[in-house]
Copies of this chain bind each other. A is one copy, B any other.
Amino acid sequence: MPAHTDHFSLRTHGKGTTEITRTISEIVSASGIRHGAVTVFVRHTSASLVIMENADPSARRDLEVFFEKLVPENTPWFIHTQEGPDDMPSHIRMALTRTSEVIPIIDGRMALGTWQGIFLFEHRRDPHQRQIAVAVVGE
């Protein structure tokens, strides 16, 4: 079967990264596809994806703080502020990271490196229900 699509949702706990590697891996296995690629896609503009080191959580913490400082809340010239001070920074942090990520599948497994994990990056302060769409294409 050359294509398999799926989707799932996940509740975040406010700002931060949540690993989703295992769920994607299970969808790849269930697809039966041995060679091809899997597309992971976040269906939101205030959350994003990043493939990041999965070993030491301090690396993700520093990444999160970097984005807090690069795109500060309460930036005085922001116009789009209806939903609060974390609204516009969320969109910009999303644009600076990724909405889609595509990982080759070789011999039935994602070709992730040893230290790579796939993370959902929540940019809003409040917990949100986030939807992720997945497409596995190949043979």
Contact = CB atoms under 8 A, between A and B. Distances in A.
A106 B137 contact: no
Contacts of A22: none
Within the oligomer, what is the number of copies of this chain? 3
Query: What secondary structure prevails in chain A residues at the interface with B?
Result: mixed
Contacts of A45: 51-53, 59, 113, 115-116
Interface residues of A, number: 62
A43 interface: yes
A62 B3 contact: no
Nearest to A92: B66
Contacts of A51: 45, 99-100
Interface string A102-126: 1111100001110110000000000
Interface of A: 1-5, 7, 33, 35-37, 39, 41-45, 50-53, 56, 58-59, 61-63, 65-66, 70-71, 77-80, 82, 88, 91-92, 95-106, 111-113, 115-116, 131, 133-135, 137-139
